[in-house]
Amino acid sequence: MKATFGAGCFWHVEDLLAKTKGIKSTQVGYTGGQLPDPTYEEVCTDRTGHAEAVEVEYDPDEISFDELLNVFWNNHNPTTLNRQGPDIGIQYRSAIFYHNEEQKQLAEKLKKELDGSGKYSSPIVTEIVPAPKFYKAEEYHQKYFQKNGLS
C-alpha cells in the first residue's frame, strides 16, 4: 500500500520512515502544487504550491496506516503553519495526502483526537487532502541522509 506525508524537510522524514518496520520503500518528491514536473529550485521559491513530501510503500500486515500516522504525528510539529523548525515556506507544510477513503477517515479521526487531547498548546494545522500527482525529486535528494553519513 502507498502513503504520502509532508512534515518539513523531506530528508529527515524519509530517513525516519525508511527505518520504520513495515516500510518497503521510500522516495522523496513534490506534491500538492500547480507546477508540473517541478525542480527543487522551483519548489524553494515558495511559488509552486508544492510540499516536500515522502511517498512510502508499506506492508499493511507489518504496519497499519494508523501506526504510520502515529509515526507522522510524533515526529514533527503539526501546529506550525508552513514551517518546521528553521525551515519556512509552504513547501514545509504538515500534510497527509491520502490515497483512499479509509486513509482520509483515519487521518481526520486521529487529528481530531489529538487536537482535543491537550498534547499541543496550539491547534493542529495539518492539511488532509487527496494525494495528487507525486513528482519524484532529483536523485541527489533520494536517501540523502544515508548517502551523506547522517543516518
Name the residues annotated as catalytic: 9
Q: Distance (Å, rounded) from C-alpha 60 to C-alpha 66?
A: 10
Nearest partner of 48 among 59, 57, 37, 56, judged by Cα: 37
As given in the structure block, the three cell numbers for residue 96 are: 497527509
- According to DSSP, the β-strands at 94-98 and 23-31 are unpaired
